[in-house]
Structure 1
Amino acid sequence: MKEALRSWLFFSLLVTVLSLGGTFCPGGEEVMVNPSFTQQREIYRFIQGFHTGLDDREEWELARIIVDESRRYGLDPELVLAMILVESSFYHRAKSAKGARGLMQLRPFVARVLAKEMGIPWQGKETILDPSTNVRLGLHYLSKLILRFRDLKLAIAAYNYGPSYVKEQLRRGKPVPTRYAERVLRNYRLLSRRLSLRSL
Protein backbone atom coordinates (compact mmCIF):
# COMPACT_ATOMS: atom_id res chain seq x y z
CA MET A 1 0.00 0.00 0.00
CA LYS A 2 2.80 2.42 0.95
CA GLU A 3 4.72 1.51 -2.21
CA ALA A 4 1.64 2.17 -4.34
CA LEU A 5 1.13 5.54 -2.64
CA ARG A 6 4.76 6.52 -3.17
CA SER A 7 4.52 5.58 -6.85
CA TRP A 8 1.32 7.59 -7.26
CA LEU A 9 2.87 10.65 -5.59
CA PHE A 10 6.02 10.33 -7.69
CA PHE A 11 4.15 10.21 -10.98
CA SER A 12 1.80 13.01 -9.92
CA LEU A 13 4.85 15.19 -9.27
CA LEU A 14 6.39 14.19 -12.59
CA VAL A 15 3.25 15.07 -14.54
CA THR A 16 3.11 18.44 -12.75
CA VAL A 17 6.74 19.18 -13.63
CA LEU A 18 6.13 18.29 -17.26
CA SER A 19 3.38 20.88 -17.46
CA LEU A 20 5.63 23.73 -16.27
CA GLY A 21 7.26 26.20 -18.63
CA GLY A 22 10.45 28.20 -18.43
CA THR A 23 11.32 31.84 -18.94
CA PHE A 24 15.06 31.82 -19.70
CA CYS A 25 15.54 31.23 -23.43
CA PRO A 26 18.76 32.76 -24.80
CA GLY A 27 19.64 32.84 -28.46
CA GLY A 28 16.83 34.80 -30.06
CA GLU A 29 14.04 33.84 -32.42
CA GLU A 30 16.38 33.22 -35.35
CA VAL A 31 17.63 29.94 -33.79
CA MET A 32 14.23 28.61 -32.82
CA VAL A 33 14.10 26.47 -35.98
CA ASN A 34 17.23 24.58 -34.90
CA PRO A 35 16.06 21.14 -33.66
CA SER A 36 18.91 20.93 -31.15
CA PHE A 37 18.01 24.33 -29.74
CA THR A 38 14.35 23.31 -29.47
CA GLN A 39 15.28 20.11 -27.65
CA GLN A 40 17.56 22.08 -25.35
CA ARG A 41 14.78 24.53 -24.56
CA GLU A 42 12.29 21.77 -23.74
CA ILE A 43 14.80 19.95 -21.53
CA TYR A 44 15.66 23.20 -19.78
CA ARG A 45 11.99 23.82 -19.04
CA PHE A 46 11.67 20.32 -17.64
CA ILE A 47 14.76 20.67 -15.45
CA GLN A 48 13.41 23.92 -14.01
CA GLY A 49 10.77 21.93 -12.14
CA PHE A 50 13.41 20.40 -9.86
CA HIS A 51 15.73 21.64 -7.12
CA THR A 52 18.99 21.32 -9.02
CA GLY A 53 21.21 23.60 -6.95
CA LEU A 54 22.13 25.34 -10.22
CA ASP A 55 21.36 28.81 -11.51
CA ASP A 56 19.45 29.46 -14.75
CA ARG A 57 22.51 29.59 -16.97
CA GLU A 58 23.94 26.41 -15.47
CA GLU A 59 20.62 24.66 -16.07
CA TRP A 60 20.62 25.90 -19.66
CA GLU A 61 24.15 24.53 -20.11
CA LEU A 62 23.10 21.22 -18.56
CA ALA A 63 20.26 20.98 -21.08
CA ARG A 64 22.76 21.55 -23.89
CA ILE A 65 25.08 18.85 -22.60
CA ILE A 66 22.19 16.37 -22.40
CA VAL A 67 21.26 17.10 -26.03
CA ASP A 68 24.85 16.91 -27.30
CA GLU A 69 25.89 13.81 -25.36
CA SER A 70 22.66 11.98 -26.18
CA ARG A 71 23.40 12.54 -29.86
CA ARG A 72 27.04 11.51 -29.43
CA TYR A 73 26.06 8.09 -28.10
CA GLY A 74 22.87 7.58 -30.12
CA LEU A 75 20.63 7.72 -27.05
CA ASP A 76 17.23 9.35 -26.70
CA PRO A 77 17.34 12.47 -24.51
CA GLU A 78 14.28 11.15 -22.67
CA LEU A 79 16.28 8.11 -21.56
CA VAL A 80 19.02 10.34 -20.20
CA LEU A 81 16.46 12.45 -18.34
CA ALA A 82 14.89 9.29 -16.92
CA MET A 83 18.28 8.10 -15.66
CA ILE A 84 19.07 11.42 -13.99
CA LEU A 85 15.57 11.62 -12.53
CA VAL A 86 15.90 8.23 -10.85
CA GLU A 87 19.53 8.70 -9.81
CA SER A 88 19.46 12.20 -8.32
CA SER A 89 16.17 13.99 -9.10
CA PHE A 90 18.43 16.52 -10.85
CA TYR A 91 20.17 17.70 -7.66
CA HIS A 92 23.74 18.11 -8.89
CA ARG A 93 25.37 17.61 -5.47
CA ALA A 94 23.43 14.46 -4.58
CA LYS A 95 25.38 11.83 -2.64
CA SER A 96 24.32 8.26 -1.92
CA ALA A 97 25.04 6.18 1.16
CA LYS A 98 27.64 4.30 -0.91
CA GLY A 99 29.43 7.48 -1.94
CA ALA A 100 28.03 7.86 -5.46
CA ARG A 101 27.86 11.51 -6.41
CA GLY A 102 26.29 13.95 -8.80
CA LEU A 103 23.47 13.92 -11.31
CA MET A 104 24.19 10.40 -12.55
CA GLN A 105 25.45 9.10 -9.20
CA LEU A 106 28.91 7.92 -10.11
CA ARG A 107 31.17 6.33 -7.53
CA PRO A 108 34.62 7.97 -7.44
CA PHE A 109 36.62 4.87 -8.39
CA VAL A 110 34.41 4.33 -11.47
CA ALA A 111 34.39 8.01 -12.42
CA ARG A 112 38.17 8.19 -12.21
CA VAL A 113 38.59 5.36 -14.72
CA LEU A 114 36.01 6.90 -17.04
CA ALA A 115 37.68 10.31 -16.83
CA LYS A 116 41.02 8.76 -17.80
CA GLU A 117 39.41 7.03 -20.79
CA MET A 118 37.90 10.33 -21.93
CA GLY A 119 40.98 12.46 -21.30
CA ILE A 120 39.24 14.50 -18.61
CA PRO A 121 41.60 15.84 -15.90
CA TRP A 122 40.79 14.23 -12.55
CA GLN A 123 40.33 16.62 -9.63
CA GLY A 124 38.61 14.33 -7.16
CA LYS A 125 35.02 14.86 -6.14
CA GLU A 126 34.88 18.26 -7.85
CA THR A 127 35.21 16.49 -11.19
CA ILE A 128 32.20 14.31 -10.37
CA LEU A 129 30.16 17.21 -9.03
CA ASP A 130 30.58 19.32 -12.14
CA PRO A 131 27.17 18.80 -13.82
CA SER A 132 28.41 18.72 -17.41
CA THR A 133 31.31 16.39 -16.62
CA ASN A 134 29.10 14.10 -14.55
CA VAL A 135 26.66 13.66 -17.44
CA ARG A 136 29.49 13.11 -19.92
CA LEU A 137 31.04 10.44 -17.70
CA GLY A 138 27.70 8.81 -16.94
CA LEU A 139 26.65 8.52 -20.57
CA HIS A 140 30.07 7.23 -21.59
CA TYR A 141 29.66 4.53 -18.95
CA LEU A 142 26.10 3.69 -20.01
CA SER A 143 27.11 3.44 -23.66
CA LYS A 144 29.90 1.02 -22.74
CA LEU A 145 27.43 -1.13 -20.83
CA ILE A 146 24.98 -1.14 -23.75
CA LEU A 147 27.75 -2.34 -26.07
CA ARG A 148 28.83 -4.96 -23.53
CA PHE A 149 25.44 -6.47 -22.73
CA ARG A 150 23.65 -5.76 -26.03
CA ASP A 151 20.45 -5.19 -24.08
CA LEU A 152 19.23 -1.85 -22.74
CA LYS A 153 17.50 -3.27 -19.68
CA LEU A 154 20.57 -5.29 -18.67
CA ALA A 155 22.83 -2.30 -19.32
CA ILE A 156 20.73 -0.10 -17.04
CA ALA A 157 20.74 -2.81 -14.37
CA ALA A 158 24.53 -3.04 -14.68
CA TYR A 159 24.79 0.74 -14.27
CA ASN A 160 23.12 0.35 -10.89
CA TYR A 161 24.40 -3.01 -9.62
CA GLY A 162 27.74 -3.12 -11.41
CA PRO A 163 28.66 -5.00 -14.59
CA SER A 164 30.60 -7.73 -12.77
CA TYR A 165 27.56 -8.62 -10.66
CA VAL A 166 25.24 -8.72 -13.67
CA LYS A 167 27.72 -10.81 -15.66
CA GLU A 168 28.04 -13.30 -12.79
CA GLN A 169 24.28 -13.58 -12.39
CA LEU A 170 23.93 -14.33 -16.09
CA ARG A 171 26.79 -16.85 -16.00
CA ARG A 172 25.15 -18.72 -13.14
CA GLY A 173 21.76 -18.65 -14.81
CA LYS A 174 20.29 -16.56 -12.03
CA PRO A 175 17.90 -13.62 -12.49
CA VAL A 176 19.29 -10.11 -12.66
CA PRO A 177 17.44 -7.66 -10.39
CA THR A 178 15.38 -5.43 -12.65
CA ARG A 179 13.50 -3.12 -10.28
CA TYR A 180 15.85 -0.20 -10.90
CA ALA A 181 15.92 -0.71 -14.66
CA GLU A 182 12.14 -1.02 -14.82
CA ARG A 183 11.77 2.25 -12.92
CA VAL A 184 14.10 4.02 -15.36
CA LEU A 185 12.33 2.54 -18.38
CA ARG A 186 8.90 3.42 -16.98
CA ASN A 187 10.01 7.04 -16.63
CA TYR A 188 11.56 6.87 -20.10
CA ARG A 189 8.23 5.86 -21.61
CA LEU A 190 6.38 8.56 -19.69
CA LEU A 191 8.85 11.25 -20.71
CA SER A 192 8.78 10.09 -24.33
CA ARG A 193 5.01 10.57 -24.41
CA ARG A 194 5.08 13.93 -22.66
CA LEU A 195 8.12 15.59 -24.21
CA SER A 196 8.35 13.95 -27.66
CA LEU A 197 11.91 15.24 -28.08
CA ARG A 198 12.66 12.86 -30.94
CA SER A 199 10.03 14.56 -33.10
CA LEU A 200 11.54 18.03 -32.62
Structure 2
Amino acid sequence: MISRRGCLPALAVGLGLFGTRLVHAGAQVEEPLADSVRTALSSAIANAAPPIPDFPTTEARLAYLRWLGAMSPKLARRKVDWQERKEFLQTVWYESKRAGLDPGLVLGLVQVESAFRKYAVSVVGARGYMQVMPFWSRLIGDGDAGRLFHMQTNLRFGCVILRHYLDRERGNLYLALGRYNGSRGQPQYPNAVFGAAKQWAFDDPGPPKHAEAIRGGS
Protein backbone atom coordinates (compact mmCIF):
# COMPACT_ATOMS: atom_id res chain seq x y z
CA MET A 1 0.00 0.00 0.00
CA ILE A 2 1.42 3.37 -0.95
CA SER A 3 1.53 6.12 1.62
CA ARG A 4 -0.22 9.36 0.73
CA ARG A 5 2.01 11.34 3.05
CA GLY A 6 3.83 12.86 0.09
CA CYS A 7 0.67 14.16 -1.59
CA LEU A 8 0.35 17.93 -1.67
CA PRO A 9 -2.57 20.30 -1.81
CA ALA A 10 -3.11 21.61 -5.30
CA LEU A 11 -1.42 24.89 -6.10
CA ALA A 12 -3.20 27.32 -8.38
CA VAL A 13 -1.28 28.70 -11.32
CA GLY A 14 -2.05 31.78 -13.33
CA LEU A 15 -4.50 32.30 -16.11
CA GLY A 16 -3.30 32.17 -19.69
CA LEU A 17 -3.35 29.94 -22.73
CA PHE A 18 -4.12 26.91 -20.62
CA GLY A 19 -6.77 28.53 -18.42
CA THR A 20 -6.86 27.90 -14.70
CA ARG A 21 -4.89 24.77 -13.96
CA LEU A 22 -4.17 22.97 -10.72
CA VAL A 23 -0.62 21.82 -10.21
CA HIS A 24 0.03 18.70 -8.16
CA ALA A 25 3.68 18.63 -7.20
CA GLY A 26 5.24 15.28 -8.01
CA ALA A 27 5.75 13.07 -4.96
CA GLN A 28 6.73 9.64 -6.18
CA VAL A 29 7.04 7.30 -3.23
CA GLU A 30 10.38 5.60 -2.75
CA GLU A 31 9.88 1.84 -2.82
CA PRO A 32 12.31 -1.08 -2.81
CA LEU A 33 13.35 -2.11 -6.32
CA ALA A 34 14.36 -5.59 -7.30
CA ASP A 35 17.94 -5.74 -8.56
CA SER A 36 16.74 -6.63 -12.06
CA VAL A 37 14.38 -3.66 -12.12
CA ARG A 38 17.03 -1.30 -10.80
CA THR A 39 19.46 -2.51 -13.45
CA ALA A 40 16.91 -2.10 -16.23
CA LEU A 41 15.96 1.40 -15.11
CA SER A 42 19.59 2.43 -14.68
CA SER A 43 20.34 1.21 -18.19
CA ALA A 44 17.38 3.15 -19.57
CA ILE A 45 18.62 6.33 -17.91
CA ALA A 46 22.28 5.85 -18.79
CA ASN A 47 21.78 5.52 -22.54
CA ALA A 48 22.90 8.99 -23.52
CA ALA A 49 21.69 9.02 -27.09
CA PRO A 50 21.03 12.61 -28.21
CA PRO A 51 17.36 13.68 -28.36
CA ILE A 52 17.27 13.80 -32.15
CA PRO A 53 14.35 11.86 -33.61
CA ASP A 54 15.30 9.20 -36.13
CA PHE A 55 12.77 8.50 -38.85
CA PRO A 56 12.62 5.32 -40.93
CA THR A 57 10.76 7.05 -43.78
CA THR A 58 10.25 10.51 -45.17
CA GLU A 59 6.56 10.31 -44.28
CA ALA A 60 7.43 9.56 -40.66
CA ARG A 61 9.63 12.65 -40.57
CA LEU A 62 6.89 14.75 -42.15
CA ALA A 63 4.40 13.45 -39.56
CA TYR A 64 6.77 14.62 -36.81
CA LEU A 65 7.12 18.02 -38.45
CA ARG A 66 3.33 18.33 -38.64
CA TRP A 67 3.15 17.50 -34.92
CA LEU A 68 5.87 20.07 -34.15
CA GLY A 69 4.04 22.68 -36.21
CA ALA A 70 0.81 22.01 -34.31
CA MET A 71 2.36 22.00 -30.83
CA SER A 72 4.63 25.02 -31.18
CA PRO A 73 1.92 27.72 -31.25
CA LYS A 74 0.27 26.20 -28.18
CA LEU A 75 3.50 26.50 -26.23
CA ALA A 76 4.58 29.91 -27.53
CA ARG A 77 3.32 31.90 -24.57
CA ARG A 78 5.18 29.63 -22.17
CA LYS A 79 8.37 29.45 -24.20
CA VAL A 80 8.69 32.54 -26.34
CA ASP A 81 12.04 31.74 -27.93
CA TRP A 82 11.53 29.51 -30.96
CA GLN A 83 14.81 27.61 -30.60
CA GLU A 84 14.16 26.83 -26.93
CA ARG A 85 10.61 25.79 -27.76
CA LYS A 86 11.75 23.58 -30.61
CA GLU A 87 14.42 21.86 -28.50
CA PHE A 88 11.92 21.25 -25.71
CA LEU A 89 9.28 19.77 -28.01
CA GLN A 90 11.86 17.70 -29.87
CA THR A 91 13.11 16.27 -26.58
CA VAL A 92 9.58 15.55 -25.36
CA TRP A 93 8.88 13.71 -28.61
CA TYR A 94 12.13 11.76 -28.45
CA GLU A 95 11.90 10.73 -24.80
CA SER A 96 8.19 9.93 -25.01
CA LYS A 97 8.61 7.68 -28.03
CA ARG A 98 11.71 6.11 -26.49
CA ALA A 99 9.66 5.13 -23.44
CA GLY A 100 6.62 4.04 -25.46
CA LEU A 101 4.49 6.94 -24.25
CA ASP A 102 2.21 9.38 -26.05
CA PRO A 103 3.89 12.82 -26.37
CA GLY A 104 0.54 14.50 -25.72
CA LEU A 105 0.24 12.67 -22.42
CA VAL A 106 3.75 13.70 -21.40
CA LEU A 107 3.04 17.33 -22.30
CA GLY A 108 -0.13 17.16 -20.23
CA LEU A 109 1.81 15.76 -17.30
CA VAL A 110 4.44 18.50 -17.59
CA GLN A 111 1.68 21.11 -17.67
CA VAL A 112 0.10 19.76 -14.49
CA GLU A 113 3.37 19.13 -12.67
CA SER A 114 5.40 22.26 -13.38
CA ALA A 115 3.43 24.52 -15.76
CA PHE A 116 6.45 24.11 -18.09
CA ARG A 117 8.86 25.65 -15.59
CA LYS A 118 12.32 24.15 -15.93
CA TYR A 119 13.43 25.00 -12.40
CA ALA A 120 10.20 24.24 -10.56
CA VAL A 121 10.72 22.76 -7.08
CA SER A 122 7.89 21.42 -4.92
CA VAL A 123 7.80 21.68 -1.14
CA VAL A 124 8.83 18.01 -0.93
CA GLY A 125 11.76 18.58 -3.27
CA ALA A 126 10.46 17.26 -6.60
CA ARG A 127 12.38 18.94 -9.40
CA GLY A 128 12.06 20.22 -12.91
CA TYR A 129 9.57 19.83 -15.71
CA MET A 130 8.29 16.41 -14.65
CA GLN A 131 8.81 16.97 -10.92
CA VAL A 132 11.13 14.04 -10.35
CA MET A 133 11.95 13.22 -6.74
CA PRO A 134 15.71 13.40 -5.96
CA PHE A 135 15.86 9.84 -4.60
CA TRP A 136 15.60 8.57 -8.18
CA SER A 137 19.06 9.99 -8.87
CA ARG A 138 20.40 7.78 -6.10
CA LEU A 139 18.39 4.71 -7.08
CA ILE A 140 19.01 4.64 -10.82
CA GLY A 141 21.25 7.59 -11.66
CA ASP A 142 24.65 8.91 -10.69
CA GLY A 143 23.46 10.42 -7.42
CA ASP A 144 23.62 14.02 -8.65
CA ALA A 145 20.10 15.35 -8.07
CA GLY A 146 21.15 18.72 -9.50
CA ARG A 147 21.10 17.17 -12.96
CA LEU A 148 17.32 16.85 -12.68
CA PHE A 149 17.17 20.50 -13.73
CA HIS A 150 18.76 19.59 -17.07
CA MET A 151 15.98 19.41 -19.66
CA GLN A 152 16.78 16.08 -21.30
CA THR A 153 17.78 14.44 -18.01
CA ASN A 154 14.54 15.48 -16.34
CA LEU A 155 12.36 14.40 -19.24
CA ARG A 156 14.21 11.10 -19.54
CA PHE A 157 13.84 10.33 -15.83
CA GLY A 158 10.18 11.31 -15.89
CA CYS A 159 9.35 9.21 -18.92
CA VAL A 160 11.33 6.19 -17.69
CA ILE A 161 9.67 6.40 -14.28
CA LEU A 162 6.17 6.69 -15.76
CA ARG A 163 6.92 3.74 -18.07
CA HIS A 164 8.07 1.76 -15.02
CA TYR A 165 4.83 2.53 -13.19
CA LEU A 166 2.79 1.72 -16.28
CA ASP A 167 4.49 -1.68 -16.52
CA ARG A 168 3.88 -2.30 -12.83
CA GLU A 169 0.20 -1.53 -13.31
CA ARG A 170 0.00 -3.77 -16.40
CA GLY A 171 -0.87 -0.94 -18.74
CA ASN A 172 -3.40 0.79 -16.49
CA LEU A 173 -2.56 4.44 -17.09
CA TYR A 174 -4.94 5.69 -14.41
CA LEU A 175 -3.15 3.73 -11.69
CA ALA A 176 0.29 4.46 -13.16
CA LEU A 177 -0.34 8.19 -12.97
CA GLY A 178 -1.49 7.75 -9.39
CA ARG A 179 1.82 6.09 -8.57
CA TYR A 180 3.67 8.89 -10.31
CA ASN A 181 1.95 11.41 -8.07
CA GLY A 182 2.04 9.27 -4.92
CA SER A 183 -1.76 9.13 -4.79
CA ARG A 184 -2.57 5.75 -6.32
CA GLY A 185 -6.29 5.09 -6.52
CA GLN A 186 -7.30 8.74 -6.11
CA PRO A 187 -8.94 10.37 -9.15
CA GLN A 188 -7.81 13.99 -8.86
CA TYR A 189 -4.33 13.69 -10.31
CA PRO A 190 -5.00 11.27 -13.20
CA ASN A 191 -8.04 13.31 -14.18
CA ALA A 192 -5.99 16.51 -14.15
CA VAL A 193 -3.35 14.95 -16.42
CA PHE A 194 -5.96 13.46 -18.76
CA GLY A 195 -7.67 16.84 -18.97
CA ALA A 196 -4.43 18.67 -19.74
CA ALA A 197 -3.39 16.03 -22.28
CA LYS A 198 -6.51 16.78 -24.34
CA GLN A 199 -5.01 20.18 -25.12
CA TRP A 200 -1.95 18.45 -26.59
CA ALA A 201 -3.73 15.72 -28.51
CA PHE A 202 -2.75 15.56 -32.16
CA ASP A 203 -4.86 14.01 -34.86
CA ASP A 204 -2.46 13.93 -37.79
CA PRO A 205 -4.33 15.02 -40.93
CA GLY A 206 -1.67 13.41 -43.12
CA PRO A 207 0.09 15.00 -46.07
CA PRO A 208 -1.69 17.68 -48.10
CA LYS A 209 -4.03 16.27 -50.72
CA HIS A 210 -2.10 17.93 -53.51
CA ALA A 211 1.01 16.02 -52.40
CA GLU A 212 -0.92 12.75 -52.60
CA ALA A 213 -2.12 13.71 -56.07
CA ILE A 214 1.41 14.40 -57.20
CA ARG A 215 2.61 11.03 -55.88
CA GLY A 216 -0.35 9.27 -57.42
CA GLY A 217 0.24 10.83 -60.78
CA SER A 218 3.96 10.13 -60.91
Instruction: Give the TM-score, by structure 2 length.
Output: 0.62
Aligned to 1:57: 83
Aligned residue type for 2:200: L
Letter of the structure 2 residue corresponding to residue 83 of structure 1: L
Larger deviation, residues 40-49 vs 94-103: 40-49
CA deviation after TM superposition for structure 1 residue 124, in Å: 3.0
The residue that corresponds to 2:194 in the other structure is 185
| 1:122, distance to aligned residue in structure 2 (A) | 4.8
Q: Which amino acid aligns with 1:179?
A: Q
1:116-167 alpha-carbon deviations (Å, 9 max, x no partner): xxxxx55331x100112111110000001000012100000100007xxx4x
* 1:148 corresponds to: 168
Task: Tell me the secondary structure at the aligned position of residue 14 of structure 1.
Answer: coil
Question: Structure 1: which amino acid aligns with 2:106?
Answer: V
1:49-100, CA deviations, whole angstroms, 9 ceiling, x for partnerless residues?
Answer: 21x5x85423211110111122222222110110000000001000101111
Q: Structure 1 regions of 5+ residues with no counterpart?
A: 1-5, 16-29, 116-120, 167-175
For 1:123 and 1:45, the matched residues in 2 are separated by 34
> 2:133 — aligned with what?
107
| Correspondences of 1:129-148 after superposition (within 5 Å) | 129-148=149-168
1:27 is matched with none
179-188 or 150-159, larger mean C-alpha shift: 179-188
Q: CA RMSD in A?
A: 2.9
- Assess if the C-alpha contact under 8 Å between 1:78 and 1:197 holds in 2: no
In structure 1, C-alpha distance between the alignment counterparts of 2:66 and 2:199, rounded to whole Å: 19
Does residue 13 of the first structure (1) align with residue 17 of the second (2)?
Answer: yes
Instruction: Determine the C-alpha separation between the residues in 1 that align with 2:140 and 2:73.
Output: 29
> TM (normalized to structure 1)?
0.67
Distance, in Å, in 1 between the alignment partners of 2:106 and 2:203 is 12
Rg larger in 1 or in 2?
2
Q: 1:79 aligned to 2:105?
A: yes
Indicate whether 1:39 and 2:67 are aligned.
yes
CA, structure 1 residues 158+45, in 2 after alignment: closer, same or farther (shift >3 Å)?
A: same
| d(CA) in 1 for partners of 2:159, 2:188 | 20
Which runs of no fewer than 5 residues in structure 2 stay unpaired?
Answer: 1-11, 20-57, 207-218
C-alpha distance in structure 2 between counterparts of 1:47 and 1:153, whole Å: 25
Report the residue type matching 2:180 in the other structure.
Answer: Y
Corresponding residue for residue 145 of structure 2: 124
- Aligned to 1:157, which of 169, 178, 192? 178
Tell which has more relative contact order, 1 or 2 (C-alpha 8 A, sep 6+).
Answer: 2
Distance 2:127 2:116 in 1: 12
Equivalent residues of 2:137, 2:145 under 8 A apart: no
Secondary structure in 2 matching 1:138 = helix
Establish whether residue 90 from structure 1 lines up as the match of residue 135 from structure 2. no
Distance of 1:197 and 1:114 partners within structure 2: 35
Report sequence identity in percent: 28
Hey, what's the Cα distance between the residues in 2 that align with 1:57 and 1:114? 31
